[in-house]
Amino acid sequence: MRFTLPRAFALACAMGLIAPARAAPPVEAFGDLPRAEFARLSPDGKHLAVIRPYDGREKVEIIDLSKPDSTPVVVGMEGGLAGDVLWKSDDRAIAIFHATLRGKWYKKYLSDFSRALSLTLSTRREMLLMWDAPRFMTTRNEGTITDMVEGDPDHVYMSQFDLWDHEYMLDLYLVDLASGSAALKLHGGANTIGFITDGHGGVLGSIEQDSNLTDHIRMGGKETFSYAVKGGAQFGLEGLMEGPEAKFAMQMPTPFGTEGLYAWDGKSQFGPALFENPTYDLSGVIGDERNGRVVGVTYTDDTLHAKYFDPALQRIQDSLELAYPGQSVSILSKDDAGASFVIATQGPRNPPVLSLFTRTDHQVKIIEEAYPDLKPSDLGEVKPYPYKAPDGLDIHAYLTLPPGRDPHNLPAVIFPHGGPEARDSMAFDWWAQFMASRGYAVLQPNFRGSSGYGGKFLLAGDGEWGGKVQDDVQAGVRKLIADGIADPKRICIVGASYGGYMALAGATFSPDLYACAISYAGLSDLDRALYTGTTFESEGITIWKRRIGADVDRHKAAAQSPANFADKVKIPILLIHGDKDTTVTIEQSRIEEKALKAAGRPVEFVTLEGDDHYLEFPQTRIQLLKEVERFLAAHIGT
């Protein structure tokens, strides 16, 4: 059978009055690993270390800036992925790698390992650090630099848990970067969980955690401060500040109920405020890359902002923000002279770009575009989309509209974030933009329990995973429908990690609201997640119990577990999970699949072979996006 266009329509197309539909970028444009994610300058500014993928695995590439056509030095580790790089001197860098592996003696269990190695440029010699430390083969976190020991080009401090007299204790080691060997510097006690150092090789004290989950800060052999961490801490020692006096930066609540940063003398005096905002929490601190001293802060309203304590550095930050209106600008690194800076810029429709800024000539040279095949015109408009929950609580959300589509009666995706103590913002989101490029409106709600909006908003989500948190998301769906943006019959809920739980909970506890659900690495059985594998009430376990509400009602976990109510599901569900996930084990998706099948509900299960929780390989990212595209098209596509 042959179909022909109406003559008037064909004529209009020929005259250019009706533009042909624009082809969406291929899956690979979104799913490939970013071409570069992070970079640091050597102290003299002559070399640049960039973390970038080689054959699908992230390695460290070192570029000689004085010889841009020379072949870069590439540093990798078999089976490992580069996660950070530090410059110890002009001639020596430290690369940190991580991997998910089965332990040498506990092969049944997957564990996350990290390792560090030094590279001496002049000799091209690589050396694994801590290789001769006790229990090196079984200790997982051997990639942590405790202190950079500024002023000493040959050593750093690293720590590990050692077994002494049948008890594990944290020990501090002085590590020689040329040989990789570790010399024991200081024994921790039975309760030591961290050492307090000054960035120059001096040990000032330690943090001890007792059996009641109270942290005790000890300086000079004496306790100077303590605070409870059961269910989550209100305080956090972030490090020393620059200056001749030993002033610390302490994260703690502001008078407004948000999280701020304050100076602390190490004893009893707090103040002045280094950062406080009546509406938004402190997001993080900025540490000096040479000595770890706290030099600034970050916070997020709709976009990420950086504030430095040094006025000269803040002026540079301000000038860069003026040069990139509508984008967030982060200074990732600088040389010791303060002449050259590595900056990262990005916005909702501007994928991340790494650049080199030189202050003398005010020139910016692009190092790498993270997603070079994506242009702003390929991406959807992102805008704030605030609304109120049924109980009147203000919910901040972001709406991404599909490019080139009339925002009316669209198929829509509800895309709640992970965490739950996290939040979405107006930043580039490769997954959300991919779905928008396929014609879907994408709503990302910051429901109660999200971080960033103060302690009251955060704690309002405790025990409400199956209740008011769901109400918050449902209110966003109803607003999309009321505003005429979403077709009420074509709405799918999609999420990863805690967002995956939200997708399963939405399909289970709001069975008539959605047409389908996709869960990547989502929780389905909260009892099993809490109580399997250990009876030890760690700080982390108490935080999860508080979030779920199981700290006050043991039955909350079961009552909010989607797998226990699979018979309520009315819509098709797609489960996707990495088989090397140690954050949310693949068992959680298998439990949900088994429950749905037993209830006779439609379910598909896709395993991402060889990847963990964080989608670290291009082939699994691309596979995930293809499965999402297929499933959405089948159930809510046009």
- In the chain, what are the domains? 376-635 (3.40.50.1820)
Backbone φ, ψ for residue 444 (5° rounding) = -120, 100
3-class state of residue 567 by DSSP: helix
Contacts of 467 (CB under 8 A, 6+ apart): none
> In residues, how long is the chain?
638
Contacts of 10 (CB under 8 A, 6+ apart): none
Q: Which two structure tokens, joined as six digits, stand for 597?
A: 């099948």
pLDDT digits (tens, 9 = 90+) for 141-154: 777 899 999 999 99
Question: What's the confidence (pLDDT) of residue 550?
Answer: 92
Cis peptide before 420 (omega within 30 of 0): yes
Question: What's the confidence (pLDDT) of residue 104?
Answer: 60
Closest CA to 202 of 246, 235, 234, 261: 246
- Pairing of β 145-147 and β 155-164: antiparallel
**What whole-number distance in Å separates Cα of residue 430 and Cα of residue 457?**
27
Give the residue-averaged pLDDT of 367-372: 96
Mean pLDDT of the chain, nearest integer: 92
**For tokens 């707090």, what's the residue?**
270
Give the residue-averaged pLDDT of 244-253: 89
Question: What's the confidence (pLDDT) of residue 106?
Answer: 56
3-class state of residue 603 by DSSP: strand
Give the residue-averaged pLDDT of 578-607: 97
DSSP 599: T
**What whole-number distance in Å separates Cα of residue 327 and Cα of residue 382?**
12
Give the residue-averaged pLDDT of 158-177: 82
Give the residue-averaged pLDDT of 76-84: 93
pLDDT value at 12 more than 50:
no
**Residues 576, 541 contacting (CB under 8 angstroms):** no
Could you tell me the maximum CA-CA distance found in the chain, to the nearest angstrom? 89
pLDDT digits (tens, 9 = 90+) for 267-302: 878 888 999 999 999 999 999 999 999 999 999 999
**What whole-number distance in Å separates Cα of residue 142 and Cα of residue 134?**
11
Give the residue-averaged pLDDT of 187-202: 91
Closest CA to 387 of 459, 446, 454: 446
Question: What's the confidence (pLDDT) of residue 6?
Answer: 39
Cα–Cα distance list, 198 to 159, 227, 266 (Å): 15, 22, 12
Question: What's the confidence (pLDDT) of residue 10?
Answer: 39
- Measured over the CA atoms of residue 138, residue 139, residue 145 and residue 147, the dihedral's sign is negative
**What whole-number distance in Å separates Cα of residue 155 and Cα of residue 106?**
33
> The pTM is what?
0.93
Give the residue-averaged pLDDT of 324-329: 95
